[in-house]
Amino acid sequence: MQVPRSHPRYTSLITREKLVEGVKEGLAVLEGLIAHGRGEAFDYILGERTHDFAYEAEKTAVASILLAKSPIISVNGNTASLVAKEIAELSKTLNTPLEVNLFHYSKERVKKIADKLKSYGAKVYHEGDVSLEGLESTRRIVDSRGIYKADVVLVPLEDGDRCEVLKRHGKFVIAIDLNPLSRTARMADITIVDNIVRAIPNMIKFARELKSTNINLLKKIVRDYDNRHVLREAISAIRDYLTKMAGEL
């Protein structure tokens, strides 16, 4: 569909179209459209912009990846449809590989997503040679070089139970989730309450900035971060936005 640039909801509609294309290309599943709709609703009541609490989470996420021994960035169908090029760029800037990890698993889709990410020059793991104990869903199928041995894992658009299992395996989890009330959001060590289409480009900027920063400063950024505070700020931002909108009626 051609979206006219003058349309007041241009960015939102273009993002939707990318996901629809992703489904047509076989990168994303139909359930991904539903997940996106939920994300859109939260984005709407957050004012469709990156808030300060999200910038803080994005910066801290980058600092913690730079400090990690074996970091990994997990990619699912929605992420590949919306920000394949950008997440490959982030991966290269942070020298952190990508791993394809799917909820609705199929070998064919894993390969399609991996090929797309590789076409942007990223290093991609998708062997699926080990199982993450304690997880029933097919998200348990992971790569022994990636999520399995990682100390820090970035999980965009997560579906719930994996975050808990990753935590049980002693991993430091960074989530990107527009829903600050989700189980993932509440269980992660760092929750980026922002749209992935804004979060990843912001993280690329922070990565370029912090790459040459001294290690003590990176440690201070991570030490000073309080995820419960960030989640409280996100929920308050929704409340304030709704109060403002009601007041304008």
Binding stretches for ligand PTJ (CB under 6 A) = 28-29, 31-32, 35-36, 38-39, 42, 76-78, 102-104, 157, 159-160, 176-179, 182, 195-196
CB of 124 closer than 8 Å to CB of 118: yes
Q: By C-beta, is 200 or 218 nearer to ligand PTJ?
A: 200
- What angle do helix axes 30-44 and 10-25 make, rounded to 10 degrees? 160
Q: By C-beta, is 67 or 186 nearer to ligand PTJ?
A: 186
User: Alpha carbon of 149 to those of 121, 152, 161: distances in Å?
Assistant: 23, 9, 19
How many other CB atoms sit within 10 Å of the CB of residue 217? 10
* Nearest residue to ligand PTJ on Cβ basis: 39
Q: State which H helix or E strand residue 102 sits in.
A: none
In the complex, least distance from residue 69 CB atom to ligand PTJ, rounded to whole angstroms: 26
Q: By C-beta, is 88 or 178 nearer to ligand PTJ?
A: 178
- Rounded to whole angstroms, the Cα distance separating 247 from 161 reads 38
Q: By C-beta, is 29 or 65 nearer to ligand PTJ?
A: 29
CB of 86 closer than 8 Å to CB of 117: no
CB of 179 closer than 8 Å to CB of 42: yes
Q: By C-beta, is 176 or 221 nearer to ligand PTJ?
A: 176
> Would you say how long the chain is, in residues?
249
